Amino acid sequence: MSEESTKEITLEINDVLGHLRSPESKPSIFKVDDHLRTAGRDNDYDPEVLAIGPFHHGKSRLQSMNHYKFWYLKQLLSRRNETVERYVIAMAGMEERARRCYAEPVDLDGHNFIKMMVLDGCFLIELLRYHSLKDLRVANDPIFKNERNLSQLRHDIMLLENQLPFFVLNQLFNMTKIEDSRDDIIGLTLCFIDGMFLNTSVSKVYQKLPTQNIDHLCSLIHEICCLPFAGTILHKNVGSNACQNWESIHSISRLQEVGIRSIKGEGTSGFMDITFVNGVLRIPPLNIFDETESQFRNLIAYEQYMTDCEARYVSDYTFFMNCLINTPKDVRLLRNYGIIGNWLGDDKEICEMFNRLGKNILTSTKFSYSHIFNAVNWEFQRRSNSWVIKLRRNYFGSPWSIISLLAAVALLILTLLQTLYTILSYYNHMGKAQQFS
């Protein structure tokens, strides 16, 4: 082998070794692999208009937002009467730490990576400010003139692949703080997403939110959803031996057949706070919109990839709902109970959505609803042994069964009437014969 070939191979290997991640590093921003992507829809993990971070950086269909990134940065610098140099220096000092947050090698050199951090980070914090602190906005800001724009941006900032580390955002936010009590990065973020995400009242969570656990905005939304439920479920599963042993429950229509009722749970600690007491399943309401599946998928993906995430609450919830929903009839029942609000317009779509969400996911090591599954299955078995239930299931399970039974009863009645008529005719004939004898 020539010396030139040896050097070339050495350089190639060293290049790969240089990009290898230390085993001690714990990335929190991931590219979603085909294992999860194939179970969902094409756009569940991809941004519609806004690229944040390196994974979707430079994609041609997202380039139109670059104009607004520079525009928002210019407004920020003008308001503070300073140059961008201070922010470039701050981001350069965070480059290596930020790179370690990404699970995949970042194909951007130091120059472009730092530029991306400044532009994307400043755009995000200004977007959050402009949404709540309207006095900071310029007149006729095109982003805020159309609700569709805001809906797309809300969708994009929560995607797992489309993130900047939270410590980057927090640093830029602290460098640009204004004298306003509302100027708080957590509060502004919660205000921006409030009313659009999974029926969770963010105001109830705000004071309890442990900011040190936040990896990025997708992680923040995950905390908002799970924090109210986490304490509740830990309390219910304390001392329970059933955590490791459970079986799936039947669909909502099968449960209804044996008399297990389902009602809308109200006054709960969130949409995941499902209970089962005295044969009644209480399920908090959930409104289903176009973006709901994407929201669930990205939170599930975050749980699936985080190696230290033993409690996968969102995955557990979607598995629970997938068990309850097998057919559009199950969705209709849940709608009638006030548990599901269908803004998609089609029960079949919701059924298929939960069936897709239930594929290729891992639940918690100690499944959050194991105690409910065991209780429901025990009650289902007890009620199924009732002769009334067996009669209802065997003979009244479908309209055709009922029609067949009614037809058989009608035939039996007609046969009895015919027999009775024959007997009466016989005795009537015998009576007349005796009169003439």
* Of 165, 147, 257, 262, residue with least CA distance to 215: 165
Rounded-to-integer distance, Cα 52 and Cα 302, Å: 17
Residue 391 region by backbone torsions, left for phi larger than 0, else alpha for psi between -120 and 50, else beta: alpha
pLDDT, one tens digit per residue, over 53-90 is 999 999 999 999 999 999 999 999 999 999 999 999 99
In percent, how much of the chain has pLDDT > 90?
60
Rounded-to-integer distance, Cα 121 and Cα 84, Å: 13
Residue 309 region by backbone torsions, left for phi larger than 0, else alpha for psi between -120 and 50, else beta: beta
Region of poorest pLDDT, from 126-130, 153-157, 187-191, 331-335: 187-191
Rounded-to-integer distance, Cα 76 and Cα 128, Å: 13
What is the residue-averaged pLDDT of the chain?
87
pLDDT, one tens digit per residue, over 250-284 is 999 999 999 999 999 987 778 899 999 999 999 99
In percent, how much of the chain has pLDDT > 70?
83
Averaged pLDDT for residues 211-238: 80
- For the entire predicted model, the pTM comes to 0.83
